[in-house]
Amino acid sequence: MKNVEHIAPGFQWAEPLRGQYLNIEFVGSDLQITGLSPTYKAQESPCDLIHQVKINPEQIAKGQKTGTQSPEVCFANADTDRKLIDFVRRFGPVVAQECSILIDKEADEPYLPSRLIAHQNMQELRNEQAIYRAALGLVMQLGQQDYDSLSGQQLMKTIAANIKDWPRQWEREKSLRGFEPAWKLTAESLERIESLSLLPPDALPDELSGRIVTCELLNAFRSIVFPNPLEMHSSIKFGIRPLLYSILRRQFIYPRGFAICANTECRNFFNIERSGQNFCSTECSLRHRQRIYWQEQGKKLRNKRAAKRRKTRKKSIS
């Protein structure tokens, strides 16, 4: 019997220069991200987005409470600049304005990995997070039995409002590459998304409009197979957005357990680790229960205190 080793090379933008994460510096209002071209020799790299997506459900299936969320959930929840920077520090640029490769010509070892240097505009990063959060929310809505048309319409409006820059970004990447990028949002798709976002919530049957918008987004990033790691990495040289939408495609076709925190002051996505889980953390569960208790019992307690104070005043006057 032969022993067959299954090698999964992973898929990541870069490896850290040192330590666990990529280097981040501010250059004006942009982020400059620096890392090493991935060699895929290191196993279970924290910067390997696909590996991190893979291990999260495996750990949950084994009954392990990880306390961490998968990368696509982290990006959807990154509603502050600090969270966005932390995400980029770990996984690389989402949409790079430019990317260069720096080869150390003085290195003694000719096969040392070269450096990757990319620039990520912060406003583009914020827009991408808004689109992805809305798209993940729409996918979750489509996976439920009772589709909320009003909520779905709001999510589609968010997507339509922030996706308008994709054609310009495609032209920019084409100019930098010297050939057409593998992804593309056509003018027809953009127009279709915008028109569907403006329709009344009940204009089409059930969730059809949300399903169409989701498919238009996912079809902008077609599935591709690669003959070698070099060509594979080239597909994400200008940002890991194609990887994020490949994860979203899998979630759309094969839904797996994630939900939105029931704490109305949180509403973050989270990976479900146990049956009946409604909150992303024990802290959110506690805050929600405390707030509900105060709403239900607080008025009675306040009335009792007020009555006690009035009674005390009457006694003091008499």
Q: How far, in Å, CA of 11 to CA of 289, rounded?
A: 41
Q: How many CA atoms lie within 13 A of 100 on its CB side?
A: 5
Length of the chain equals 318
The predicted pLDDT at position 87 comes to: 97
Domain ranges for the chain:
23-280, 282-318
The predicted pLDDT at position 133 comes to: 97
Helix (H) or strand (E) holding 97: strand 96-102
The predicted pLDDT at position 10 comes to: 74
The predicted pLDDT at position 144 comes to: 81
pLDDT per residue rounded down to tens, the chain (318 residues): 444 444 455 789 999 988 889 999 999 989 999 999 988 776 678 888 888 888 765 554 454 455 578 899 999 999 999 999 999 999 999 999 999 988 765 555 555 678 999 999 999 999 999 999 999 999 999 988 788 888 999 999 999 999 999 999 999 999 999 999 999 999 999 999 999 999 987 777 778 999 999 999 999 998 888 888 888 889 999 999 999 999 999 999 988 778 888 888 888 888 887 777 888 888 887 876 777 666 666 666 667 777 777 777 766 666
Token duo for residue 290: 């405390």
| Residue 104 near residue 115, CB atoms below 8 Å | yes
Token duo for residue 237: 């040289």
The predicted pLDDT at position 239 comes to: 97
The predicted pLDDT at position 85 comes to: 97
The model's pTM is 0.84
Q: How far, in Å, CA of 300 to CA of 271, rounded?
A: 37
Contacts of residue 117, Cβ cutoff 8 Å, sequence gap at least 6: 32, 33, 34, 99, 100, 101, 102
Start-to-end Cα distance in the chain: 100
